[in-house]
Structures are given as structure tokens and as C-alpha cells.
Amino acid sequence: MNPPTKFTIKITMLLAALIAFFMQASISEASISIKSKTYYYQINGSTTGELKAQMRKKGPNGHWAYAVWFIDWDNEGCDVSVKINYIYPNWTNINKAPNSVQLIWRKMIRALKKHEKNHARNGIMAGRAIHKNKCKNPGSTIHKWSAKDQEYDRNTGHGKTEGVVLP
């Protein structure tokens, strides 16, 4: 019975050493986490005119949609977390609308999602840059990528040139 017991002890020690090694690795290596949440506000109607009026009224700050990103970091280990919130319109009675209007809407939503994803990408780039700089001057990095967000909206008219339009 002796040899197997010794063998078992050896394995246990090896496992303990491995666990210690992995714990150390996760402690010494700073991490970056990216999480996103999507929220919807409800709209209804049967014409693009009605939908546009509802989005103007109910959309976030009068926009049709929004992507906002937040970055947290801890100065000790430089663990960085990027949180992205998306807000989109949800057309509740779309199935009752004419096919032609549904098609136009779906095309616009595709362009809108692409546009908001590009905003989110700026936040992710900011998070990666902060992580890469080991959390030095995070404020200026955030400022730089926020400016890119604004520039992107200026250049595309908040997505109009990319197809975020309804007739």
C-alpha cells in the first residue's frame, strides 16, 4: 500500500504547486474585461413619419439610439473594465406594418447597430490603451477616444451618411 500513497501525495503536491502558480499568474497579470448591456425603449406606429416622431420623443436625449461606454481601473494592479450600454428603439407593432416599411426599418436598424458598435469600439480601444499604458494618464486616453466619438458623429451626421435614415 505504501507506493500508491506516496504517489498520491506527490500528485497532490504537484497540483498544489500548479494551483499556486496559476493564482500567481492571475494576480501578477492585470486583466481587461469588456461587458455590454442592451436596453430598448418602445415605439409604435405604421409609417416612418410616426416612427421618427416617437424616436424623437422617446429616444435618449432625442437620439434614435445611443452607445455609452464607461471605463474603470484600479491603480494597483491596473485591472481595467470597459462597460458599454446600448439603447435602441424597439418597434413593438412592426408585424402589423406594410412589408415595404418593415424592410426600410430593418435596413436602418442594421446601419444604426453598426454605427453604435463603432462608438463602442472607441471605448474598447480606450480601455486597451489604458491597460497597455499600465494605467498611466487614463484621463487623457479617455479624453482622446471621447473626442474620436464626437468626431465620428460629426463626420457621419450621427450615422446619416452610413444609412441611419428613414424617408
Residues that bind Zn ion (CB under 5 A): 153, 158
In the complex with Zn ion, the residue whose CB is nearer, 50 or 153, is: 153
In the complex with Zn ion, the residue whose CB is nearer, 50 or 107, is: 107
In the complex, what is the shortest distance from the CB of residue 94 to Zn ion, in angstroms, rounded to a whole number?
23
Q: What is the side-by-side strand order in the sheet with 80-91?
A: 32-43, 80-91, 66-73
In the complex with Zn ion, the residue whose CB is nearer, 95 or 155, is: 155
In the complex, what is the shortest distance from the CB of residue 158 to Zn ion, in angstroms, rounded to a whole number?
5
Which residues face 18 on adjacent strands? none
Which residues face 35 on adjacent strands? 83
What pairing do the DSSP bridges indicate for beta strands 66-73 and 32-43?
unpaired
Minimal CB distance residue for Zn ion: 153
C-alpha closest to that of 54 among 100, 39, 112, 45: 45
In the complex with Zn ion, the residue whose CB is nearer, 32 or 68, is: 68
The grid cell for 134 is 499600465
In the complex, what is the shortest distance from the CB of residue 102 to Zn ion, in angstroms, rounded to a whole number?
24
Instruction: Please state, in angstroms and rounded to a whole number, the distance separating the CA atoms of residues 88 and 40.
Output: 5
In the complex, what is the shortest distance from the CB of residue 147 to Zn ion, in angstroms, rounded to a whole number?
13
